[in-house]
Structure 1
Amino acid sequence: MKLTFQRIVYLLLAAAFVYAIYEYHDQLVDIVTVLREGVWYFVLATLAVLGLAIYNQATLYASIYRTLELPSEKRDLLPLYLIRRFVTVAAPSGGFSGWVPFLEFARRRELAIGTVFIANLIYTILWYSTFGIFLLLGLLYLFLSHDLQWFEISAALVMLVADVIMIIGLILAWVAPGPLESILHRVAHAIERVSAWLKRPAPLTDAQMTTFVNDLSQAITQMRRAGWRRLLIPVGHALLNETLNLLMFYLIARAFGETLNFGVLVAAYSISVLFFVVSPTPGGLGFVEGTLILVLTTLRVPAHSATVVTLAYRGITFWLPFVLGFLALRWIRVHPVPEQ
């Protein structure tokens, strides 16, 4: 069997999946045990909300794609979103590695790569920005509770800076595309020079950058035609997603007899997502669990309840999408999108 680059990447991702399951086998066993102890209808309700949240994510992508006049079939975008969830853990990069499945899908469908890049940029800006509202409320609650830690502030600043840089890049592409194109061409020239010095083929040539820049220009032109108001629909879906995630946290806490007030709920949720994105471990494995238990206990949630709620929440909102994402990746390989 020919060992292509795509197959090598798949084997690496499969190895990452197997390693994660093996390394965290004990935690997974604990999660299954804990979920069995929860009130079954609250657990089922949490799973139902998760399904709705995943579907809403595909709808969010579809609304962005429609704005940019890209094919927006949910049957394609839903598995791609699940693969994104898997890849962001297998190849952690603050969520940016999750762009790759969409860009590869665009390549095989011969869609404009630059336009799909803009679509993922808009998605990530909406994710960071709408979550940022809840993060601000959560950090404020922790501050008023005298429980705000320096590492929480540092991680929040990293996420804020990344969001601001993306927003500035999008605005620059909107109001002054010329300087941005010049910067991108300089980057391509620098890559070509370094590759020539290393006597290796350049991974990105100036000709490819020209095509990419043209795609970007077309995407920005389409955004201008659509107008900013068309983005209100994706904003609504992004806000709905955060609301559904909060609801999942509330329901899983109820499954174990805890009724969290809004302040504790927002603080715990925002910290769990913050360290999923900005963490020394992939997807915050180990780090999120420890930090979340600490936050809940300092906010006067009993230690046992804090532990079981954390394990159950991470089991449903982290591990289940992680497994579904790998299965979606397998499905895409068995039923590949034909190259056009």
Structure 2
Amino acid sequence: MDFFNSFDLSYLINISPSILPLIVLPLIGLIFKKYIHSKVKRLVDKTNWKIDNIIFDSFENSILFWFVLFGIYLSLSQLPFQSNILDFALNLNIAVIVLSISISVSNVSVKILELFASNNKSFPSTTMFSNLFRIIIVSMGLLIVFQNFGISIAPVLTALGVGGLAISLALKDTLSDLFAGLHILLSRKVIPGDLVELDTLQRGVIENITWRNTTIRDRTNNMLVVPNSKLSTAIITNFDVPVKHLTARISCGVSYDSDLDKVERVVIDVAKQVINDVEGANKNYKPGVTFLNFGESSIDFRVFIGAIDYSGQWSVTHEFIKRLHKRFKLEGIEIPFPIRTIYNKNEK
């Protein structure tokens, strides 16, 4: 009985309004997640606008968390007393809210950037630009947090300027690769997806351009890593500029006894069959054949067949050689072996 007499009910009554948001807002978040979320999701999926899907998917997992954080903030701000610990808790809560929103906004911005890049081939979409957007947005959130804690930004920026000079000297090669990567992307020397050949005769498809290096996947699926500073000064052959299609060049030779008009007709006929049947061939390409020279044991010629990409030219070449060899046998056209006649003067 003494316990109930000593218990101050007025204190509980005073703090009860501050506890209410801590209970109500998370409940609202649970109700939204369970009942409203699915309806909004169906509504978003019905639209042809992709940005609303990006925004919804990016904020989906954070909504309940934000309700809880706002409930904590309202509860702390309505407590009927003041203290340094309470002020620090409020600032910490605001910092978590700001950083959480900054990360979600950065995710939305990066996805919208990638969507814009996929619809606009003149704008490159790489890991470098994505990370740059993330850093800028999160840094803005950190500046708001510093300001909320009463930390002056000017000394921080001054320290960063002095420290940046020392760091730039220590990380000279890294910064060189960074600015070289930006130069490559903005000049559109190469972009991800391009088939290139370096002056070192290494050939492959550009996979990604990051802060420090560019990754190139060769025909055997090996990954070549080239520093951006090296790539920016290298002599590069870009097979996808001005057009992406490639031409497979297949060399062959026939006997001197062959009817060259017949050879030309047969070769063109086989090439047309390959273009129609082989996946990877350029269906709009008109095949050609050119006789090159009189060889030591054959009349040499070269066949030109269009392919849609780098891997397609190997499929076209493979199938054409098989079919041409079979067709030459049926037509009685000889592909001669190298022959050399030796005269012996001492022979009687």
Same fold (TM over 0.5): no
Which structure exhibits the higher relative contact order, with contacts defined as CA atoms closer than 8 Å and separated by 6 or more residues? 1
TM norm structure 2: 0.22
TM norm structure 1: 0.22
- Whichever of the two has the greater Rg, that structure is 2
Higher normalized helix content (fraction of residues): 1
